[in-house]
């Protein structure tokens, strides 16, 4: 569903850019207003892209260039409370350690044949 929204936004921007290239829209103010309207209409998809208007030396719009914004993945999202005595580790390392522990418990339970969980404090 997100990909469809992105495709719709990119198609609208492409149509606007083609209209500029054909000469139907020359005024930079009108181009900026139309781009702003498209960004309002496709707010979620527009947050993922940088759309810039390329202008000629005379100050007339030539086309619109769209590039994807680079996003850094956030390894920690949501709300987690983890008590730890490992003060030397940062939050990402503690999270990875917790995930290894969570993955190991079910394997141990299958091997031993019981479902009790023991916390290590």
Same-domain pairing of 61 and 14 = yes
Task: Give 119: exposed, middle or buried? Use CB within 10 Å, 0-12, 13-18, 19+.
Answer: exposed
Helices (H), the chain: 2-22, 28-41, 43-46, 91-112
Residue 120 scores a pLDDT above 70? no
Whole-Å CA distances, 16 to 9, 54, 59, 64, 80: 11, 13, 17, 8, 45
Model pLDDT for residues 14-58, shown as the tens digit of each residue: 999 999 999 888 788 888 999 999 999 999 889 999 999 988 888
Same-domain pairing of 12 and 42 = yes
Same-domain pairing of 52 and 28 = yes
Distance CA 31, CA 62 (A): 10
Model pLDDT for residues 47-104, shown as the tens digit of each residue: 999 999 988 888 888 889 999 887 666 655 666 677 778 888 888 888 788 777 666 5
Same-domain pairing of 37 and 64 = yes
- Report if pTM > 0.85: no
Same-domain pairing of 56 and 17 = yes
Query: pLDDT tier at 119 (50, 70, 90 boundaries)?
Result: very low
pLDDT at res. 121? 45
Provide the domain limits for residue 43.
2-68
Whole-Å CA distances, 79 to 82, 90, 101: 10, 16, 19
For residue 8, which of 32, 54, 39 has the smallest C-alpha distance? 39
How many folded domains does the chain comprise? 2
Same-domain pairing of 98 and 61 = no
Same-domain pairing of 79 and 57 = no
């Amino acid at each position: 569903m997100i990909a469809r929204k992105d495709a719709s936004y990119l198609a609208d921007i492409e149509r606007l850019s083609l209209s500029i290239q054909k000469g139907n829209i020359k005024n930079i103010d009108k181009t900026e207003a139309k781009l702003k309207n498209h960004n309002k209409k496709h707010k979620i998809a527009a947050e993922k892209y940088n759309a810039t208007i390329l202008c000629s030396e005379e100050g007339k719009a030539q086309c619109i260039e769209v590039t994807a914004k680079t996003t850094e993945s956030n390894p920690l999202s949501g709300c987690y409370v983890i008590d730890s005595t490992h003060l030397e580790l940062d939050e990402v390392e503690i999270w990875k350690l917790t995930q290894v522990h969570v993955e190991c418990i079910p394997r141990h339970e299958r091997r031993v044949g019981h479902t009790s969980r023991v916390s290590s404090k």
